[in-house]
Chain A
Amino acid sequence: MKKALKNIWNWVDDRGGLSELVKPLTTHLVPPESKWNYVWGSATLSCLIIQVVTGIALAFLYQPSADVAYQSLQYIENQAFLGSFIRGLHNWGASGMVLLMGMHMIRVYLFAAYKYPREMSWITGVVLMALTIVMAFTGQLLRWDDNGVWSSVVAAEQMGRIPLIGDSIAHFLMGGENINGETLNRFFSLHVFVIPALLFSFVAYHLFLVFRNGISEPPKVGRYLNPKTYRNWYENMLKEKGVPFFPNAIWRDAVFSALVLIVLVFIAWFVGAPELVGAPDLTNVKVDPKPDWYFTWIFAIFALMPRDIGSYVIMLGPVLTITVLLAVPFLSKGGERSPLKRPWAIGAVAFLIITICGLWYIGDVEPWHPKFDAEPLSEYTTVPEAKPSVQRGINVFNTAGCLYCHKINDQGGIRGPNLTNVQNRLTKEQIIIRIVNGAENMPAYGGSLSKEELEDVVDFLLKDKKGSNPNN
């Protein structure tokens, strides 16, 4: 029996060349010091594999049609066997892929592994980053809930800022001049066929380049990279002390990827995918569209940009980012690779991380966002034993939209200043002028409030101890 199996294998391998196919992998030599810092790329690839598998599973359950996509997601979430888990894993797999891709990129940049002869690895990596971002965006849109529908509008509007052909590209994305029955299918086809095809091709080429040019050795202070001699030096180094990629290096990739999978399975099971918000409806304006976490920092940039340059930022931001990234291996070619001798590289990465984290925080708080769901101030707790005019003033504050942007104690929005103690900052006249004429980012209320309403709300605002709870 054993002999028969062996014969079969020998036949298959002789005619099919399987050993030959795998042999280069097993004998490929890598620098012995490439250890735990070299697992980010393979972990990103593992996430892609998770995405492919869970994506296929979802495609078996999902209906990519504008009228029923939302219902089919409800079905996946609530009825299909393991549906909620699969959706959760696809969602968190995407998060993992974006995050690990970022780590991989930072590692490569800090170790200057993009320098000679691995420039093409970096360039294809930038393309893969762009494709991954497009996948992430088109993916969250396929939820086809409120958020998904308005995300497709936002995508089209962003394209609209491209000079001359902006409208055409926007209409191309939407499949017409409106969000319509074609829109979802276009994003579905992009997400499931077009972008993955490109992604796989570039991943294959990216991996081929790793084998062709070899894994970059960890940099050492004072060891300069000279393009004229590098390849020889690298080959000699490998001959002298290189270790086979399989299994000496790949076991770390395997262990780390398994850890990533365990973490993702855990989050998918216990946290799950983002809740589906309302069914798609372009006539429902009581929505609060917001992208998934990895985009909220860009969302914050769009809100914070001064309006004169906003459109240019929307258009040029992505173009400049990609251009600068593609230019990196051409701007810094040979020489020192150690991050310890490249303080600007460390500075650039630190600056980027701090900026993005700051924007993430702002994007999460959304200080520009009117708080439509702020709980109205109750007359009794806001100002105990208030006189009638103050009580009416509280009512005006609640109903005229003041509360959306201004906080009294801990209730209300944060777009405008907190007004709990405004009586200490402004005089009665100043408050009236501000309300009647408006101010920067505040509309003028002169035309919409009656004289009495104005007096009442000012009476309320001038009151000491607003919001103090009588029970305290």
Chain B
Amino acid sequence: MACNCENQNPPNNNKESLDRRSFMTRITLGVGAFFAAVLSFPLVAAMLDPIIRKKTEVWRSVGKLTDFKIGETKMVTFENASTYEWSGGIARSAAYVRRKEDDSFLALSVNCAHLGCPVRWVEKSEIFLCPCHGGVYHKDGSWAAGPPPRGMFDYEVRVHNNNVQIKTQNIPITNLTS
């Protein structure tokens, strides 16, 4: 019978061939794992880079001292700590600043402590209302009604050279236990 295949003698030593095969299996799996690791590294690095980058916090001026009347709550905006040239309209964040006394300020994050939606200040009622799930807060940021598990988050605030300044920070994330 014509056959153009090469002479394939069955291995005559079964044990030796099994050893050889398990060696080749291991080589293949090992090389495969190496291949996967080499490729995964840049992917994981690209995904994690913006997160593990060093955190920056900067003080941002949000107005002159004289812009704030005692007892008044005012919305201010400021540039986030680290922005990109392509950040566009999301380069700035907002906060509510209330001048409690002459030199005592309270700065609250606009993010609702429930799921992060931006709360609105209703001046006449002196409450913050959240449009998403109906969270309500008092003027000092404490919880008043609705689903938020805690009061509003606050920013560090200081008066520096007659400027009111806010220390930028991350979007506050409410945890299970807060």
Contact = CB atoms under 8 A, between A and B. Distances in A.
A168 B126 contact: no
Contact of B147 (A307, A399, A445): A307
Contacts, number: 204
Nearest to B126: A448
Nearest to A310: B147
B61 interface: no
A154 B89 CA distance: 18
B97 interface: no
Contacts of B176: 161-163, 166, 311-312, 315
Given A153-B116, A156-B116, A176-B53, A303 B125 contact: no
A351 interface: no
A67 B86 contact: yes
Range, interface on chain A? 35 or more
Interface string A392-413: 0000000111001000000000
Interface string B97-137: 00000000000001100111111101011110101111010
B146 A404 contact: no
How big is the B interface, by class?
Answer: 35 or more
A125 interface: no
A443 B145 contact: yes
Given A157-B115, A171-B51, A400-B125, A67 B88 contact: yes
Contacts of A415: 134
B15 interface: no
Interface stretch (B22-30, B33-41, B74-82): B74-82
A177 interface: yes
A307 B131 contact: no
- Majority secondary structure, B binding face: loop
A461 B148 CA distance: 31
A182 interface: yes
Interface in B157-178: 169-171, 173-176
A471 interface: no
Interface string A306-323: 111011101100000000
Interface stretch (A260-268, A352-360, A367-375): A367-375
B65 interface: no
A66 B86 contact: yes
Contact of B146 (A176, A366, A441): A441
Contacts of B175: 160-161, 163, 166-167, 311
Contacts of A441: 136, 145-146
Interface string A44-65: 0000000000000000000001
A158 interface: yes
A109 B11 CA distance: 53
A307 B148 contact: yes
Nearest to B119: A285
A281 interface: yes
B145 A401 contact: no
A173 to B, nearest CB: 10
A303 B133 CA distance: 5
A150 interface: yes
Given A156-B171, A285-B120, A447-B126, 17 more contacts: A66-B90, A150-B118, A153-B111, A157-B173, A160-B174, A172-B47, A177-B171, A280-B88, A289-B131, A302-B147, A307-B148, A307-B149, A310-B114, A311-B149, A311-B174, A415-B134, A440-B145
Interface of B: 47-48, 50-51, 53, 55, 75, 77, 80-94, 110-111, 114-120, 122, 124-127, 129, 131-134, 136, 138, 143-149, 169-171, 173-176
Interface of A: 65-68, 70, 149-150, 153-154, 156-158, 160-163, 166-168, 170-172, 174-183, 186, 279-290, 299, 302-303, 305-308, 310-312, 314-315, 366, 368-370, 372, 399-401, 404, 415, 438, 440-443, 445, 447-448
23 contacts: A65-B88, A67-B89, A68-B88, A150-B117, A160-B175, A166-B175, A168-B51, A174-B171, A176-B82, A176-B170, A178-B93, A179-B90, A284-B118, A285-B75, A289-B132, A290-B132, A303-B147, A305-B147, A366-B134, A368-B133, A370-B131, A404-B129, A448-B125
The 3 A-B residue pairs with the shortest CB-CB distance, nearest first, are: A67-B88, A177-B170, A181-B84
